[in-house]
């Protein structure tokens, strides 16, 4: 199990270097609208690294029958908002394409590493409940490097909490559905909506995002209690 921990460490190191270059060399901070395009080259390293590591280190999630009911409660609305954003933002330009590509690169790399590798290995050795918490902790710690990109300490601490909750949700529903591709798609569209700041033009998107976050927390707690009992 210990050798698995080198994967998120390498992942964080690559991201830290990319973050440092963007902010300290190019002057483009994490909150800058141009950050996605500036940071994109880093994902040309992270995505292949994540895929290769996933293929080497992933573990089976057991022989239970996959379920989808709880997951679809949040998956369908998130995808709907994501598709609405794509349609609204659509244009034949690199400005449209870059945030979408960036969001999918985030979804692919982070889900493969933090759910596909960290969670499956931790769950195999320590059980599903502890595996969820371990993978969520690693996922939360990953976002501490955003401080290198110029965000404030208070913003970083807020991200640590929100990403821990998200990590619990994603690991729980991965064990629930046994489908990493669904998580990648949802993660990508969730981030795409955030990258585009579409809530500034449509207030209902911001309200929907808050509702999704609350529902995410409820589903995460529900599944966490279930796995704790098991």
Question: What's the pTM?
Answer: 0.92
* CA-wise closest residue to 107 among 19, 213, 182: 182
User: How far, rounded to the nearest angstrom, does the alpha carbon of residue 221 sit from its chain's CA centroid?
Assistant: 18
pLDDT-flagged residues of the chain (< 70): 1-2
User: What pLDDT shows up at residue 104?
Assistant: 95
Please, where are the H alpha helices in the chain?
Answer: 6-20, 35-57, 69-89, 94-110, 120-126, 128-142, 153-177, 180-196, 203-229
User: How far, rounded to the nearest angstrom, does the alpha carbon of residue 26 sit from its chain's CA centroid?
Assistant: 25
């Amino acid at each position: 199990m210990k050798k698995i921990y080198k994967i998120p460490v390498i992942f964080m190191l690559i991201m830290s270097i990319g973050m440092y270059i963007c902010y300290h060399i190019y002057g483009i901070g994490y909150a800058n609208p141009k950050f996605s395009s500036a940071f994109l080259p880093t994902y040309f390293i992270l995505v292949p690294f994540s895929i290769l590591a996933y293929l080497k280190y992933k573990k089976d999630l057991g022989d239970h029958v996959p379920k989808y009911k709880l997951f679809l409660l949040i998956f369908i609305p998130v995808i709907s908002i994501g598709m609405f954003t794509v349609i609204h933002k659509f244009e034949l330009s690199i400005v449209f394409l870059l945030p979408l590509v960036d969001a999918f690169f985030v979804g692919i790399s982070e889900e493969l590493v933090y759910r596909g590798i960290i969670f499956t290995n931790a769950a195999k050795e320590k059980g599903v409940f502890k595996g969820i918490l371990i993978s969520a902790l690693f996922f939360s710690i990953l976002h501490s490097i955003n401080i290198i990109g110029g965000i404030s300490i208070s913003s970083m601490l807020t991200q640590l909490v929100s990403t821990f909750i998200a990590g619990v949700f994603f690991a729980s529903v991965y064990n629930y559905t046994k489908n990493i591709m669904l998580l990648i798609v949802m993660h990508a569209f969730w981030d795409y909506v955030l990258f585009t700041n579409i809530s500034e033009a449509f207030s209902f998107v911001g309200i929907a995002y808050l509702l999704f976050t609350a529902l995410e927390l409820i589903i995460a707690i529900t599944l966490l209690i279930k796995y704790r009992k098991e």
